[in-house]
């Protein structure tokens, strides 16, 4: 029940954000005097509507987005009443059209930023000093956190009664103990702990020296067996290795909370990192298509493959089911930021495509005026329709691919 509730809540959050996207277009258009005739949440048959002033507002039967109709978005629109010609969108200055067309993405950014600010003040944002690379993690002091068990295979999952207990727990080690030596070999950091354990075999007895609350101690543990790739080749051949059943307790906190003022700077910094990561993720999308196909046809689902709204909603459901509300809201932030950036790409039929054409017209008019030639006028959108249809076809195919992968082989973050 909690899982289904999370799915519904996340899907509803997406629907609200997309509806606010369209409201951004509508409100800015109305503010500049453009005529907006329709604003609807959803698509398909109309369930309910009312008219206020010159705009019809309503809800349609398929809750997969929303739209608003601004009169005369392009000079080729053939449904503009002659009385509305002066208020056609294409007649307005390019800067006003840019604001209207970018208002949707700005709305997504605003939702993401406000949510991030609230998270920064309450739960905290990821600590920028937290070790993130393998090299940084290995340099951390060997302060341990006990696992409940040792999972025999090379996977991340919850412990079961069939899994062997953690040797460290059986040896009476505790969370927060710092390992200083194994079989007499000094342990300076977590990397040395891993390397030393890999030099032993499953079933070996390890003599462990440690420090607890400033006091030295010693114990012994019979090492269990698990499956891992080589330390120097994470994608290499998996093999049987010795396991102590411990993880790392980082020397720095994973998250940092901020005051109301300090949260603004932290939110800006985190948003900058998110922007870089978003652009990097977009660049990798074409090369991830084969991985999506592999996931659909029975292969393992790559955690780095794109997800659809369906996949995001499923992850939201998992977050609620496991009481991971912070993850739920971070997913909401990431999705809004991605939609905001993606929608500004200079490609039709995206808003960014309309903005790019508007500024192309402006630049071309300026250039022709400088060289003494007549203004060539507006871009003929009809000539761009084949390209637009091609982009719609590619986008539709990619959306279908991601939805299919999210249904038959979804990404999961928790064991269910």
List the catalytic residues: 22
Residue 239 makes CB contacts below 8 A (sequence gap 6+) with: 227, 228, 229, 230
List the beta strands (DSSP E) in 95-222: 125-126, 144-146, 178-182, 185-186, 205-212, 215-222
Question: Any idea what the Cα angle at residue 96 is, between residues 91 and 100, rounded to 5°?
Answer: 105
Nearest to 193 by CA among 183, 159, 202: 183
Residue 407 makes CB contacts below 8 A (sequence gap 6+) with: 310
Helix, strand, coil percent content, the chain, rounded in steps of 5: 50, 20, 30
Specify the length of the chain in residues. 416
Q: How far apart are CA 69 and CA 81, in angstroms?
A: 14
Find where tokens 């090492």 sit: 223
Give me the helices (H) in 307-376, please: 309-321, 325-343, 351-370
Would you give the end-to-end CA distance of the chain in angstroms?
Answer: 13
The two three-digit tokens of residue 78, written as one number: 């053939």
- Check residue 128 and report its DSSP letter: T
Residue 341 makes CB contacts below 8 A (sequence gap 6+) with: 105, 275, 278, 279, 282
């Amino acid at each position: 029940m909690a899982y289904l509730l999370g799915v519904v809540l996340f899907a509803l959050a997406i629907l609200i954000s997309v509806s606010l996207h369209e409201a951004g277009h509508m409100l800015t258009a109305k503010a500049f005097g453009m005529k907006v005739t329709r604003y609807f949440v959803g698509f398909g048959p109309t369930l309910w509507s009312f008219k206020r002033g010159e705009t019809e507002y309503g809800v349609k039967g398929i809750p997969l987005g929303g739209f608003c109709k601004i009169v005369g978005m392009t000079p080729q629109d053939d449904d503009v009443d002659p009385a509305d010609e002066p208020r056609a969108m294409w007649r307005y200055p390019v800067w006003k059209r840019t604001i209207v067309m970018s208002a949707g993405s700005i709305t997504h950014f605003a939702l993401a930023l406000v949510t991030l600010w609230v998270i920064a003040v309450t739960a905290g944002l990821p600590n920028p000093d937290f070790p993130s690379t393998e090299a940084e993690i290995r340099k951390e002091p060997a302060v341990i956190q006990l696992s409940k068990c040792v999972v025999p295979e090379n996977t991340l999952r919850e412990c079961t009664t069939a899994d062997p207990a953690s040797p460290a727990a059986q040896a009476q080690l505790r969370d927060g103990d710092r390992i200083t030596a194994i079989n007499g070999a000094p342990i300076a950091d977590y990397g040395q702990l891993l390397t030393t354990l890999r030099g032993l075999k499953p079933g070996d007895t390890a003599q462990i020296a440690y420090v607890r609350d400033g006091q030295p101690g010693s114990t012994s543990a019979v090492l269990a067996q698990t499956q891992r790739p080589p330390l120097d080749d994470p994608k290499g051949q998996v093999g049987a290795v010795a396991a102590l059943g411990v993880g790392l307790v980082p020397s720095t906190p994973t998250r940092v909370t901020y005051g109301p003022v300090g949260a603004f700077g932290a939110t800006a910094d985190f948003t900058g990192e998110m922007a870089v990561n978003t652009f990097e993720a977009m660049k990798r999308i074409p090369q991830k298509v084969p991985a999506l196909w592999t996931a659909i046809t029975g292969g393992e689902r790559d955690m780095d493959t794109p997800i659809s709204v369906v996949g995001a909603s499923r992850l939201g459901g998992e977050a609620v089911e496991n009481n991971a509300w912070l993850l739920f809201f971070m997913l909401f932030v990431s999705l809004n930021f991605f939609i905001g950036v993606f929608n500004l790409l200079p490609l039709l039929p995206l808003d960014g495509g309309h903005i790019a054409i508007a500024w192309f017209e402006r630049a071309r008019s300026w250039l022709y005026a400088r060289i003494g030639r007549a203004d060539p006028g507006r871009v003929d959108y009809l000539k761009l329709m084949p390209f637009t249809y091609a982009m719609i076809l590619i986008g539709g195919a990619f959306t279908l691919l991601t939805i299919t992968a999210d249904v038959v082989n979804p990404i999961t973050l928790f064991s269910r």
